[in-house]
Amino acid sequence: MVWAAGRVGITECPVSYVTGESLGWLEDFYVHQALGGGGEILDWPARRVDAFVVLKAESHDR
C-alpha cells in the first residue's frame, strides 16, 4: 500500500494522477473566472465541466 485514507487505499502515488492536461484545466478555469464566467455549459465537453466543478469546489472563492 502506497497511500491510504480511511478504508480507501491505492498502490500508486496519487501525484501520478496529475497530468500535463491538469495545468491546462487550471489555466482555463482561472481565465474563465477572470472574464466573469458565462458560456453555455451544455456545449462544454464533459471533462471540462468535471474539472470546473472540482476546481470551483476547491477554490477559496466559494
pLDDT band at residue 7 under the 50/70/90 scheme: confident
DSSP labels for the chain? --EEETTEEESS-GGGG--HHHHHHHHHHHHHHHTT--S-GGGS-HHHHHHHHHHHHHSTT-
Q: For a pLDDT cut of 90, what percent of the chain falls above it?
A: 19
Q: Cα dihedral sign for 10, 15, 20, 25?
A: positive
Distance between CA atoms of residues 48 and 36, nearest Å: 17
Q: pTM of this prediction?
A: 0.62
Q: Are 20 and 13 in contact (CB under 8 A)?
A: no
Q: What is the reported pLDDT for 46?
A: 92
pLDDT (tens digit per residue) in 13-43: 766 667 778 889 899 999 998 988 877 888 9
